[in-house]
Protein backbone atom coordinates (compact mmCIF):
# COMPACT_ATOMS: atom_id res chain seq x y z
CA UNK A 1 0.00 0.00 0.00
CA UNK A 2 2.84 2.37 0.83
CA UNK A 3 4.52 1.68 -2.52
CA UNK A 4 1.33 2.49 -4.39
CA UNK A 5 0.95 5.75 -2.49
CA UNK A 6 4.56 6.65 -3.30
CA UNK A 7 3.98 5.96 -6.99
CA UNK A 8 0.84 8.09 -7.02
CA UNK A 9 2.62 10.93 -5.24
CA UNK A 10 5.48 10.78 -7.74
CA UNK A 11 3.06 10.77 -10.66
CA UNK A 12 1.29 13.82 -9.24
CA UNK A 13 4.52 15.70 -8.73
CA UNK A 14 5.90 14.91 -12.18
CA UNK A 15 2.81 14.97 -14.40
CA UNK A 16 2.49 18.16 -16.49
CA UNK A 17 -1.30 17.90 -16.56
CA UNK A 18 -1.47 17.62 -12.79
CA UNK A 19 0.98 20.54 -12.37
CA UNK A 20 -1.12 22.70 -14.66
CA UNK A 21 -4.30 21.76 -12.80
CA UNK A 22 -2.73 22.58 -9.43
CA UNK A 23 -1.44 25.92 -10.73
CA UNK A 24 -4.91 26.79 -12.00
CA UNK A 25 -6.43 25.86 -8.64
CA UNK A 26 -3.86 27.99 -6.87
CA UNK A 27 -4.58 30.95 -9.17
CA UNK A 28 -8.32 30.65 -8.55
CA UNK A 29 -7.83 30.47 -4.78
CA UNK A 30 -5.57 33.53 -4.82
CA UNK A 31 -8.12 35.46 -6.89
CA UNK A 32 -10.85 34.52 -4.43
CA UNK A 33 -8.70 35.64 -1.50
CA UNK A 34 -7.95 38.94 -3.22
CA UNK A 35 -11.63 39.51 -4.01
CA UNK A 36 -12.61 38.73 -0.43
CA UNK A 37 -9.96 41.05 0.97
CA UNK A 38 -11.00 43.82 -1.41
CA UNK A 39 -14.66 43.41 -0.43
CA UNK A 40 -13.73 43.65 3.24
CA UNK A 41 -11.63 46.72 2.58
CA UNK A 42 -14.45 48.41 0.66
CA UNK A 43 -16.87 47.54 3.45
CA UNK A 44 -14.59 49.06 6.06
CA UNK A 45 -14.08 52.11 3.89
CA UNK A 46 -17.84 52.59 3.47
CA UNK A 47 -18.41 52.23 7.21
CA UNK A 48 -15.65 54.74 7.91
CA UNK A 49 -17.15 57.25 5.46
CA UNK A 50 -20.56 56.80 7.06
CA UNK A 51 -19.09 57.28 10.53
CA UNK A 52 -17.27 60.42 9.40
CA UNK A 53 -20.48 61.80 7.89
CA UNK A 54 -22.38 61.13 11.12
CA UNK A 55 -19.67 62.80 13.19
CA UNK A 56 -19.65 65.77 10.87
CA UNK A 57 -23.43 66.07 11.00
CA UNK A 58 -23.49 65.87 14.79
CA UNK A 59 -20.68 68.42 14.99
CA UNK A 60 -22.61 70.82 12.76
CA UNK A 61 -25.75 70.40 14.87
CA UNK A 62 -23.79 71.06 18.06
CA UNK A 63 -22.15 74.10 16.53
CA UNK A 64 -25.50 75.46 15.38
CA UNK A 65 -27.02 74.93 18.85
CA UNK A 66 -24.08 76.70 20.49
CA UNK A 67 -24.44 79.59 18.05
CA UNK A 68 -28.15 79.90 18.86
CA UNK A 69 -27.35 79.92 22.58
CA UNK A 70 -24.83 82.73 22.05
CA UNK A 71 -27.39 84.91 20.32
Torsion, Cα 34 37 41 47, to 10 degrees, reads 140
pLDDT the model gives residue 49: 94
pLDDT, tens digit (0-9, with 9 covering 90-100), for 6-63:
988 888 788 888 889 889 999 999 999 999 999 999 999 999 999 999 999 999 999 9
The pLDDT of residue 71 is above 80: no
pLDDT the model gives residue 52: 95
Q: What is residue 50's three-state secondary structure?
A: helix
pLDDT the model gives residue 51: 95
pLDDT the model gives residue 24: 95
Amino acid sequence: MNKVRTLVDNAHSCGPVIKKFKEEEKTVKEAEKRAKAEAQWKGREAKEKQRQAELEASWLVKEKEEEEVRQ
